């Protein structure tokens, strides 16, 4: 271990991270945070990312060299991933002529599966990072799991967020590494009452009223209608309560329609649509209670949600459905409340926190301490970098 720590402190590694996601962007937080942390630690980091029409095709972002490939969308259900892969290979070939990489790190995406076979000479080691389970449902979920299993045969190492997710994908096989979710404590941190009122005003909320918040991609499989039903029960019993929904997706219009035509929800629930990554922390600050609702089913159950740890770090008491993923962060009655996947229990837990100031303060204090264990620099230093070094030392 002492030799390993000596290498961590003194050797610079050539690293390239590749993903068809914007940089920086909200689609793949680890893509940005991993590379920024590695650069701060003195490693030479290159990124190949998706690019918007108005973005530079190359720039340095806080010391990270960023190559952007212009795409029409980052949807995986299109030909864009194939085009992205072809252009990424061209960039890698050009870079590898002058400096072969020690590690090429790619993320959960079907077009990245053959990368080690296509570019074996570009790096000493290849790492595949599985950030989530396949969540589309039906046949797409089955195909997604198969592709994730294939990655273990092609890559030198596969990373998952926690053991529950690893077992769900690979069964009892232990040939995967665990790198937990992280949180940026400089961005997601507690604020005083003045800043909370300002955050509420930013989203068009009444700064004097208690606010329940929810952040999610608004897809049918995420059952966001259950969140609205929970809001309705809480508001019928505590009329001075308001609510916030942050996120976009296919169900946005449907949810907005429900709000507009419900006498209890109308004018008391604000839907923001997509919020830039640089402003997401304001959404947490606007909340007095955060609802980390995740459906308890085979698709979402093993997935640790980023929003749960970000809410804890922001000093907001959290009510989370009792998924295996949420239990990564939440210990019931200690740093948050775990709820069953039904409106009655979710609403009851919301009312409990809103009515009990002592409990609220205790949960906030414990939640902040929990978040400190998941700070991005710590995750990279203690989990990710040792994986790189172990792979390189065994070559």
Residue bearing the bigger pLDDT, 21 or 140: 21
Fold type of domain 2-182+375-393:
Rossmann fold (3.40.50)
Residue 118 to residues 16, 92, 107, 158, 250: CA-CA distances in angstroms?
15, 11, 16, 18, 36
β 58-61/64-70 pair status: antiparallel
The pLDDT of residue 1: 47
Query: pLDDT tens across 322-347, in order?
Result: 999 999 999 999 999 999 999 999 99
The pLDDT of residue 140: 57
pTM, entire model: 0.86
Half-sphere exposure in the Cβ direction for 347 (13 Å, CA): 17
Question: ω before 56 within 30° of 0 (cis)?
Answer: no
Give every CB contact of residue 391 below 8 A, 6+ residues apart in sequence. Answer: 103, 124, 125, 127, 156, 157
Cα 73 from Cα 25, distance rounded (Å): 13
The pLDDT of residue 272: 96
Query: Tokens 């190559």 appear where?
Result: 67
Residue 3 has pLDDT above 60, yes or no: no
Residue bearing the bigger pLDDT, 68 or 7: 68
Burial tier of 1 (Cβ tally within 10 Å: 0-12, 13-18, 19+): exposed
- CATH superfamily membership of 193-372: Glycogen Phosphorylase B; (3.40.50.2000)
C-alpha triplet 78, 79, 83: angle, nearest 5°: 140
Query: Tokens 């609802």 appear where?
Result: 291
For helices 357-372 and 306-313, give the axis angle rounded to 10 degrees: 110
Q: Say yes or no: do domains 2-182+375-393 and 193-372 share a fold.
A: yes
Residue 307 has pLDDT above 80, yes or no: yes
The pLDDT of residue 142: 65
Nearest partner of 104 among 45, 164, 163, 29, judged by Cα? 45
Poorest-pLDDT segment among 74-83, 114-123, 245-254, 296-305: 74-83
Query: pLDDT tens across 204-230, in order?
Result: 999 999 999 999 999 998 999 999 999
The string of DSSP codes covering 50-108 is EE-TTS-SEEEETTEEEEEEE-S---SSSSHHHHHHHHHHHHHHHHHHH--EEEEEEES
Domain coordinates in residue numbering, the chain? 2-182+375-393, 193-372
What is the H or E stretch that residue 345 is in? Answer: helix 343-355
């Amino acid at each position: 271990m002492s030799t390993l720590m000596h290498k961590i402190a003194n050797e610079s590694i050539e690293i390239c991270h590749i993903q068809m996601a914007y940089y920086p962007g909200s689609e793949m937080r680890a893509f940005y945070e991993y590379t920024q942390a590695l650069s701060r630690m003195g490693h030479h980091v290159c990124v190949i990312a998706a690019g918007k029409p108005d973005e530079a095709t190359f720039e340095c972002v806080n010391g990270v060299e960023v190559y952007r490939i212009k795409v029409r969308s980052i949807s995986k259900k299109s030909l864009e991933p194939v085009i992205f892969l072809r252009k990424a290979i061209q960039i890698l070939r050009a870079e590898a002529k002058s400096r072969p990489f020690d590690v090429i790190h790619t993320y959960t995406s079907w077009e990245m599966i053959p990368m080690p076979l296509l570019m074996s000479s570009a790096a000493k080691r290849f790492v595949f990072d599985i950030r989530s389970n396949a969540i589309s449902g039906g046949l797409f979920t089955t195909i997604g799991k198969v592709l994730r299993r294939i990655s273990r045969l092609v890559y030198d190492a596969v990373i998952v967020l926690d053991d529950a997710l690893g077992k769900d994908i690979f069964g009892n096989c232990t040939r995967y590494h665990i790198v937990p979710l992280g949180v940026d404590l400089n961005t997601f941190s507690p604020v005083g009452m003045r800043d909370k009122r300002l955050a509420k005003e930013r989203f068009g909320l009444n700064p004097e009223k208690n606010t329940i918040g929810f952040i999610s991609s608004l897809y049918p499989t995420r059952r966001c209608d259950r969140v609205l039903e929970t809001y309705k029960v809480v508001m019928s019993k505590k009329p001075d309560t308001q609510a916030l929904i942050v996120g976009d997706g296919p169900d946005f219009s449907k949810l907005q329609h429900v709000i507009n035509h419900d006498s209890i929800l109308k004018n008391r629930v604000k839907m923001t649509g997509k919020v830039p990554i640089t402003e997401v922390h304001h959404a947490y600050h606007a909340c007095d209670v955060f609802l980390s609702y995740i459906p308890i089913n085979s698709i979402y159950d093993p997935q640790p949600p980023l929003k749960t740890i970000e809410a804890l770090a922001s000093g907001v008491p959290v009510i989370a459905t009792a998924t295996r993923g949420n239990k990564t962060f939440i210990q019931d009655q200690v740093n948050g409340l775990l709820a069953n996947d039904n409106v009655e229990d979710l609403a009851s837990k919301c009312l409990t926190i809103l009515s009990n100031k002592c409990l609220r303060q205790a949960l906030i204090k414990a939640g902040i301490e929990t978040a400190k264990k998941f700070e991005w620099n710590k995750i990279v230093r203690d989990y990710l970098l040792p994986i790189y070094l172990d792979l390189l030392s065994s070559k």
